[in-house]
Amino acid sequence: MSYARTILLIGCLCLLAACGKTKPAPVDARDLDPFADGALCAWHIGDPDAGRELFERPVLAGTGGCTTCHSLEPNVKLVGPTLYGVAATAATRHEDITASNYLYLSIMAPNQFVVDGFPAGVMPDGYATELSEEEVTNLVTFLMTQNPIE
């Protein structure tokens, strides 16, 4: 291969490499959803009792526990909405997100899923980094048992 051709080839390769480096798009919370295709959420393999135990801890992940702000009784509004029957409520929040995935995302990205009538930035957003995937799964499994229809 001639010298000129080699230079041309290297030039083309550099150009290709540059094109491949596009700026990453901003992350949509729904991309965090490991079951975005509507397949069964991992909550099926979680432990609801372990989830309830986490839910009821006064302090969780170095911040207020869930019960600081959420009741499980009907019509009891603390800082956040009651989670009475939240499995059923969750199913109605977003038409393209299943109940379990909505619950998962509400814990992982609370400021991207803000309930009408409540302020953003109040629910701690550190659970995603402080809790293990297993703990979040157990929490979701527990919340999925909060269904008045069952």
State which amino acid sits at residue 46: G
Any residues with CB less than 8 A from the CB of 67 and at least 6 apart, and which?
55, 56, 58
Closer Cβ to ligand HEC, 31 or 56, answer by number: 56
Of 26, 29, 35, nearest to 112 by C-alpha is 29
Residue 85 lies near ligand HEC (rule: CB under 6 A): no
Closer Cβ to ligand HEC, 19 or 59, answer by number: 59
Out of 30, 32, 71, 81, which residue is the one contacting ligand HEC (CB under 6 A)?
81
Of 85, 92, 90, nearest to 147 by C-alpha is 85
Build a one-symbol-per-residue string for 93-112: x at contacts with ligand HEC by CB under 6 A, - elsewhere: x---------x--xx--x--
Out of 99, 108, 123, 144, which residue is the one contacting ligand HEC (CB under 6 A)?
123
Q: CA-CA distance, 12 to 17, in Å (whole number)?
A: 9
Residue 76 lies near ligand HEC (rule: CB under 6 A): no
Residue 122 lies near ligand HEC (rule: CB under 6 A): yes
Out of 32, 50, 88, 114, which residue is the one contacting ligand HEC (CB under 6 A)?
114
Of 145, 97, 105, nearest to 127 by C-alpha is 105
Structure tokens at 96: 């393209």
Structure tokens at 143: 């919340």
Return residues touching ligand HEC (CB under 6 A): 60, 64, 66, 68-70, 79-81, 86, 89, 93, 103, 106-107, 110, 113-115, 118, 120, 122-124, 127, 139
